[in-house]
């Protein structure tokens, strides 16, 4: 990889970005520091302050550093991620779309940074119940990931989970089933889990099987998953409740449906 492209990747990945020159301008230093303050505010639970600081950072770099596409891209990505984590999905979307455009321009469509942000955009769209649009983003990414040996396995799994969820919400249950099986196999092969992500995916698998009227298998999957959900670290009460309700529904449909 050319040196310049490598340095650009570092800038995008690390927020605040690492200064790679000895004589960094005061403008770039201020941008770096203000973005760091925004992230610290978020970590401290000061959500509104964090969003305000991140917005101010983006406005500053647009005005003062408007010729530096890398710094603008980093600031867009940072603001979009803060808004997403704060569950301000509608506000996050336009910044994320613009950040993706910058990433594609600077590092290319198939770079992990571009893929990561597209996956995040699909997550935003899912929260907005725009499942067809989310599927349109992640389906090509799943196909792309098959030919990219160096892509982080966690990222690939996240992409597949978004695709499975989109299929499920669109009532494309057979497609959802295939994607979930493939994802669970990959998680097992990569020694990932059991964790909250695997539990949630297993719950979705049980629900998909129920939707396909495979009630016996669905009941077995959900029974075991609900047991594991109670002992696996990081699984919230909501996931346990969803699992219990799904199991009750499958048992009812099995007996009376």
Residues 67-112 have pLDDT tens digits of 888 889 989 999 999 999 999 999 999 999 999 999 998 888 888 8
Q: What is the pLDDT of residue 250?
A: 97
Burial letters 47-72, b for 16+ CB under 10 A, else e: beebbebbbebbebbeebbeebebbb
Which stretches of the chain drop beneath a pLDDT of 70?
1-24
The pLDDT value recorded for residue 110 is 87
Q: Residue 93: what pLDDT?
A: 97
Q: Any idea which residue has 């499975």 for tokens?
A: 164
Q: How many CA atoms lie within 13 A of 111 on its CB side?
A: 20
Query: What is the pLDDT, as a whole number, of residue 1?
Result: 54
Residues 6 or more apart whose CB falls under 8 angstroms from that of 152 comprise 112
Q: Quote the pLDDT of residue 2.
A: 56
- Neighbour-count burial of 200, counting CB atoms closer than 10 A to its CB (0-12 exposed, 13-18 middle, 19+ buried): buried
Kindly report the pTM of this predicted structure.
Answer: 0.84
Q: Where are the domains of the chain?
A: 1-108, 193-257
| The two three-digit tokens of residue 130, written as one number | 């725009």
Residue with tokens 């949630």: 200
- What burial letters (b/e) apply to 226-241, b meaning 16+ CB within 10 Å? beebeebeebeeebbe
pLDDT number for residue 9: 56
């Amino acid at each position: 990889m050319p040196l310049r492209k490598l340095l650009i990747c570092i800038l995008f990945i690390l927020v605040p970005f690492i200064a790679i020159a000895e004589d960094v301008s005061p403008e770039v230093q201020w941008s770096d520091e203000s973005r760091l303050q925004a992230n610290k505010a978020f970590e401290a639970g000061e959500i509104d302050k964090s969003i305000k600081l991140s917005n101010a950072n983006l406005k500053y770099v647009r005005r003062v550093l408007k010729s530096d596409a890398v710094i603008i891209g980093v600031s867009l990505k940072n603001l979009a991620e803060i808004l997403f984590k704060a569950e301000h999905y509608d506000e996050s979307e336009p910044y994320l779309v613009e950040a993706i455009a910058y990433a594609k321009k600077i590092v290319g469509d198939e770079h992990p940074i571009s893929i990561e942000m597209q996956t995040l955009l699909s997550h935003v769209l899912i929260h907005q119940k725009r499942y067809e649009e989310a599927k349109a983003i992640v389906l090509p990414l799943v196909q792309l990931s098959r030919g990219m040996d160096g892509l982080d396995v966690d990222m690939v799994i996240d992409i597949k989970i978004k695709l499975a969820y989109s299929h499920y919400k669109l009532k494309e249950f057979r497609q959802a089933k295939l994607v979930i099986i493939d994802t669970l196999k990959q998680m097992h092969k990569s020694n990932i889990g059991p964790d909250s992500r695997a539990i949630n995916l297993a719950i979705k698998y049980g629900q998909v099987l129920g939707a396909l009227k495979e009630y016996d298998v669905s009941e077995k999957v959900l029974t075991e998953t609900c047991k594991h959900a109670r002992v696996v670290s990081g699984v919230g009460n909501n996931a346990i409740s969803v699992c219990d309700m799904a199991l009750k529904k499958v048992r009812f449909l099995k007996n009376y449906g």
